[in-house]
Structures are given as structure tokens and as C-alpha cells.
């Protein structure tokens, strides 16, 4: 819960008089849980372990990313309501049935290829692009977009059927995957969609005490599928547009007061300790706007997308999950949820990471 720390100061010119200053102190956590069927392996098997880990944190407020499915949202809420009695999410869905995006003729080669190589895989997306990329890109742009958007369906046959009959254009039905959990009341809640291709990006905001808190998840610089939007030229440009819109919208809510901005931003700077940059120019937009990150401020910042994570195959280590503050101070950054758990797979017990991301906690203080 929110804590109040009493600080005694001696004011210059009033050495004989002690002045009491009250700072409000909040512990905030951001965590991309990776409950993304067909994108992140073992989403169903990991879910109860993710929920159990959330129950162990003593944070005041938690921003969750990638809780895409309605069943997972319900499970998180049911399990955590005694610890986090206040929550805010906005289950958005793409409206209306679209016109058929594909034909039998153009999808047939992809179906044959995936039946050969990807009939039994936890990472359908990775398998398709590793083995059937030529067949995927031989389809029309509209068909490719529909197939990528409907990856949450059980298999390629189901995806193709959806796109033959009129599937959606956004992954997971257009949901944003965001949840904000809190020990304290969340007031003046608001939701803002951000212009997005393939996956709906958004920001949730609420006031907790004197602080405005936001939870977001921005566009990722995917290697596949190739970016094909008509409002931006690349994932990087889309993300930059989202950062600009996010800051413009959230700044009106924060004003001169304390602001806390949480989430998987899919951007971060390089460090002298071997952390690689991810869309560094976009990160600079946040830094130039005055947002501060306690993890990056320390001598040895820790990665949140890491080589030792069993679900990433990262190749590089980066800091893309952030607890950011403005008009406040932040310290005590801690990496969370980096343990491994044993799950049951078709090949027997397997030790895997809780998510493909690690969580971040930091303490925020403000008057």
C-alpha cells in the first residue's frame, strides 16, 4: 500500500526550527507476462505460475502487458483480487466482419508447407517464417496481414479458414493486452488507443493518490512479418508516432504533478556495460521529454530482454521494459520474475522462464 516517509530538514535561515516534509512513496512494477498463444511458447502452461508470481509481489501498482485472451484476464482478476482489489483494463475488440482476405489458391502452398514443418509447434510464427517464408510472402499483402493477425487461432487451417471467410486485421481480436492492478483506489481512469498496424497498441491511465499512472505496450520492431501499413513506413516509425501520441495525451493528465509511466516500450538505449540499443532514437524522445528510469541510472543496469531467458533466443540483451517517472524521484530498481519453473510438455517436464521478459520494480517518491 502507499507509504508515507517522514523526512526532517533544517531550513536555511531557520536553523532552530525543524520542518516536517511528507513524501509519498510508491512501489511500481511493470511486467510483460507473454501470455501470447502461438507467439510465446507454453502460454497456457505458464499462466498459473505467472499468476502465482504476481501474488508474491508487495508492489502498490502493477502494469501487465500481453494478457491477450479473455480467459487469462478472468484468471488474473480472480486470483489477485484479494491482493490487488482495484484494477483497470479495457477489453477492446475489432468491430465487424471483414471481407475475405485470401483465396484457396494463394493459401494452399502455405497450408502444405506448414503441415509438413509446423504441425506440432509451440512457436507457430517462428516456425512459419523459418520454414515457409516463401509460401507466406507469395500471398497477397491483404492475405498476409490477415494470416498474421489471426495467429491466436489454434493452427494454420483455422487461420486460413478465418481469412477465407473474412478474418480480422489485428492480432488477438484487437485487444491491447493491458491490465493495471493496484492496492489503492484507481480514480479518473482513461483508455487511449494508439495508431497501430497488426497489433492494437494503447495506454491505460488512472490517478492513484496524487500521482497519475499509465500502463502501455508499444510496437515492436519485428523481423517478421514485413511491415505493410499505409500510415507508417516501418515498425520504428509507427513506434515513434505512438510515443509522440502517448506523451501528448498523458502530459495533459499529468500537468505539473507526479507521473509514473510503466510498460514494455520496445525501445531502450545502449549502455557501456554491454546492453544493446533497441530503436535508440525513439528512446531519446522519452528521455528528451524528461522521463527518468532508475534502472538506467544505476552503474550496472540489468537487461529485461535477456540471453539467459529460455523463451527468447535473444542473441542480444536489451532494456525495453521501463518504470519511468516525471516530476518525481525514483530509485531501488529491482529485476523481478527471472526464475524458471517446471512445466509439463509433450516431451515430459521442462524448465522454462516465466515469460520472455523479466519484470522491473522501482520506488517512486513525490511530494
**Contact assessment for residue 173 and residue 70, using Cβ atoms and an 8 Å cutoff:** no
Lowest mean pLDDT among 41-50, 117-126, 169-178, 280-289: 117-126
| Mean of all residue pLDDT scores within the chain | 91
β-bridge pairing 211-217 and 201-208: antiparallel
Ordered by where they begin, the domains of the chain are 3-33+43-93+180-366 (3.60.10.10), 104-165 (no CATH)
Question: According to the model, what pLDDT value does residue 28 have?
Answer: 98
pLDDT in tens, 25-69: 999 999 999 999 989 999 999 999 999 999 999 999 999 999 999
Q: 167 pLDDT band (50/70/90 cuts)?
A: confident
Write the DSSP assignment of 287-299 as a string of letters: HHTT-EEHHHHSS
Closest CA to 110 of 92, 127, 85, 91: 127
pTM over 0.85: yes
Adjacent-strand bridge partners of 286? none
DSSP letter at 302? P
What does each C-alpha distance from 97 to 92, 94, 169, 173 come to in angstroms? 15, 9, 10, 11
Specify the 3-state DSSP secondary structure of 192: strand
| Residue 157: pLDDT over 80 | yes
The pLDDT tens digits for 82-133 are: 999 999 999 999 986 678 999 999 999 999 999 999 988 878 888 999 999 9
Q: What is the pLDDT of residue 315?
A: 81
pLDDT in tens, 290-348: 999 999 999 999 999 999 999 997 688 999 999 999 999 999 999 999 999 999 988 89
Order of strands across the sheet with 259-264? 187-194, 201-208, 211-217, 259-264, 321-326, 292-293
Amino acid at each position: 500500500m502507499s507509504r508515507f516517509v517522514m523526512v526532517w530538514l533544517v531550513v536555511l535561515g531557520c536553523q532552530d526550527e525543524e520542518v516536517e516534509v511528507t513524501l509519498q512513496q510508491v512501489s511500481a512494477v511493470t511486467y510483460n507476462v507473454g501470455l501470447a498463444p502461438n507467439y510465446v511458447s507454453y502460454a497456457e502452461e505458464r499462466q498459473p505460475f505467472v499468476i502465482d508470481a504476481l501474488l508474491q509481489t508487495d508492489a502498490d501498482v502493477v502494469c501487465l502487458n500481453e494478457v491477450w485472451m479473455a480467459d487469462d484476464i478472468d484468471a488474473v482478476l480472480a486470483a489477485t483480487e484479494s491482493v490487488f482489489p482495484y484494477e483497470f483494463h479495457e477489453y477492446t475488440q475489432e468491430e465487424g466482419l471483414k471481407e475475405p482476405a485470401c483465396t484457396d489458391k494463394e493459401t494452399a502452398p502455405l497450408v502444405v508447407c506448414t503441415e509438413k514443418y509446423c504441425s506440432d509447434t509451440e512457436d507457430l510464427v517462428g516456425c512459419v517464417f523459418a520454414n515457409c517464408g516463401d509460401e507466406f510472402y507469395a500471398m497477397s499483402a491483404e492475405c498476409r496481414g490477415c494470416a498474421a493477425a489471426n495467429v491466436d487461432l489454434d493452427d494454420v487451417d483455422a487461420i486460413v479458414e478465418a481469412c477465407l471467410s473474412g478474418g480480422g486485421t489485428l492480432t488477438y481480436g484487437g485487444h491491447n493486452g493491458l491490465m493495471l492492478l493496484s492496492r489503492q483506489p484507481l480514480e479518473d481512469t482513461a483508455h487511449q488507443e494508439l495508431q497501430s498496424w497488426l497489433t492494437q497498441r494503447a495506454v491505460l491511465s488512472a490517478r492513484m493518490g496524487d500521482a497519475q499512472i499509465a500502463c502501455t505496450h508499444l510496437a515492436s520492431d519485428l523481423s517478421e512479418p514485413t511491415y505493410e501499413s499505409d500510415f507508417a513506413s516501418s515498425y520504428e516509425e509507427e513506434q515513434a508516432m505512438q510515443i509522440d501520441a502517448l506523451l501528448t495525451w498523458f502530459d495533459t493528465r499529468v500537468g505539473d504533478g507526479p507521473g509514473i509511466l510503466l510498460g514494455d516500450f520496445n525501445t531502450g538505449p545502449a549502455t557501456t556495460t554491454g546492453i544493446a540499443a533497441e530503436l535508440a532514437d525513439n528512446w531519446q524522445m522519452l528521455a528528451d521529454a524528461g522521463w527518468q528510469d532508475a534502472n538506467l541510472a544505476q552503474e550496472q543496469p540489468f537487461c529485461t530482454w535477456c540471453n539467459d531467458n529460455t523463451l527468447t533466443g535473444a542473441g542480444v540483451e536489451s532494456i525495453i521494459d521501463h518504470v519511468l517517472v516525471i516530476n518525481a524521484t525514483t530509485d531501488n530498481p529491482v529485476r523481478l520474475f527471472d526464475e524458471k519453473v517446471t512445466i509439463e510438455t509433450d516431451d515430459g517436464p521442462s524448465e522454462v522462464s516465466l515469460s520472455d521478459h523479466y519484470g522491473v520494480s522501482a520506488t517512486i517518491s513525490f511530494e
